[in-house]
Amino acid sequence: MLVNVDYHIIDKCNLKCIGCNHFCPLVPDSNKPKSIEQITADLALLSKFKDHVQTLGLLGGEPLLHPQLSRICRISRYFFPNSEISITTNGLLVNRVREIKEAIEEFNIQLVVSVYPINRDNPYELVDRIRRIVPNVQAWDYATTNGMYINELSDSTGVATQEEINNCVKRWRCNQLKDGKLYICHYAAQLGYLKDAFPGEININEDDQMYLDLNDDNLTIEDIYEFQRTTMPDICNHCSDAHYGGYMGPTQPWRKSDLQLNEWYVK
């Protein structure tokens, strides 16, 4: 059994999608990219389990906005020599792809381009342009086929059952590394942005069941597997992904966010 871990190197995004499930439109403009020091420290902690990390996803926000992305590619490969490493991007910053091309090829990083209907006549235009720069590109058709998920969290959806927990795609595919902690998913890791944007409106507790502290020297890979299988943070009781099994919630057509609470949370 192997672990898939996502890691935000920056939380801001240049494409503020409605219902973004990383809450990126709610990130303050003053928010800074993660420092190289923080990234090195986080990846070093996770690398204690490097033989069990199947994939490491460098995410945002929009990772191409990070000014030191080539260096991050080098650091990631140093700590995870045998893992699959990917950068997930909306592809808008094509010139940045040219700038990091050498690092992508040298350190065997896959570029994953999320396809949004920005060019409605040809949503894959950006993917085609990027593939002419870097051949190792995977297109992830998310918004064009399904639209954007909406109301992923709610005031109350009922207590999540163990069966629903077992079927939740997020806890198996989207464990998130943040500030020395391994969170059960990106909703849990990024929840603070939602609560800060709508103070007093979000009926979800941020509890210590959301994460494992990788600074704990006694932590084992068995502890991580048990965390994935059984942990029941309060957020799971409010999450449609737990109840729908992930990637099966209601959707709406893609567009820019209006920064309204009901894009993410229904009372």
pLDDT tens track for 10-19: 999 999 999 8
Nearest alpha carbon to residue 147 among 16, 22, 20: 20
- State yes or no: pLDDT of 250 exceeds 70: no
Calculated CA dihedral for residues 104, 69, 185, 82, nearest 10 degrees: 40
Alpha-carbon distance values, 257 to 188, 235, 264 (Å) = 21, 23, 10
249 — pLDDT class (breaks 50, 70, 90):
low
* β pairing state of 211-213 and 251-252: unpaired
Q: Which domain holds residue 120?
A: 3-266
Provide the CATH number for the domain around residue 170. Answer: 3.20.20
112 — pLDDT class (breaks 50, 70, 90):
very high
What is the DSSP annotation of the chain? --EEEEEES----SS-BTT-TT-GGGS-TTPPPPPHHHHHHHHHHHGGGGGGEEEEEEESS-GGG-TTHHHHHHHHHHH-TTSEEEEEE-S--HHHHHHHHHHHHHTTEEEEEEE-TTSTT-TTHHHHHHHTT-S-EEEEE-HHHH-EE---EES---PPPHHHHHH-HHHHH-EEEETTEEESSHHHHHHHHHHHHSTTT------TTSEEETT-TT--HHHHHHHHHH---GGGGGBHHHHHTSS-S-EE---B----GGGTEE-
- State yes or no: pLDDT of 132 exceeds 80: yes
pLDDT of residue 119: 79
pLDDT of residue 70: 98
Q: What is the residue-averaged pLDDT of the chain?
A: 90
Distance CA 258, CA 20 (A): 11
Distance CA 262, CA 108 (A): 40
Distance CA 46, CA 214 (A): 7
- What is the tens place of the pLDDT at every residue in 54-82? 999 999 999 999 999 999 999 999 999 99
Q: How many domains does the chain have?
A: 1
- State yes or no: pLDDT of 258 exceeds 90: yes
- What is the tens place of the pLDDT at every residue in 150-197? 667 888 767 777 777 777 888 888 899 999 999 999 999 999 999 999
Q: At what angle do helices 69-79 and 94-106 cross, to 10 degrees?
A: 30
pLDDT of residue 213: 98
Q: Which two tokens stand for residue 140?
A: 């992830």
Residue 13 and residue 63 in contact, taking contact as beta carbons nearer than 8 Å: no
Query: The pTM is what?
Result: 0.93
- State yes or no: pLDDT of 145 exceeds 80: no
- What is the tens place of the pLDDT at every residue in 22-60? 999 999 999 999 999 999 999 999 999 999 999 999 999
- State yes or no: pLDDT of 245 exceeds 80: no
The mean pLDDT value for 231-240 works out to: 88
Q: Which two tokens stand for residue 8?
A: 């935000």
State the CB neighbour count (10 A cutoff) for residue 192. 13
Residue 111 and residue 85 in contact, taking contact as beta carbons nearer than 8 Å: no
- State yes or no: pLDDT of 243 exceeds 60: no
Contacts of 38 (CB under 8 A, 6+ apart): 179
pLDDT of residue 157: 66
The mean pLDDT value for 97-105 works out to: 97
pLDDT of residue 169: 80
pLDDT of residue 216: 97
pLDDT of residue 1: 57
pLDDT of residue 242: 56
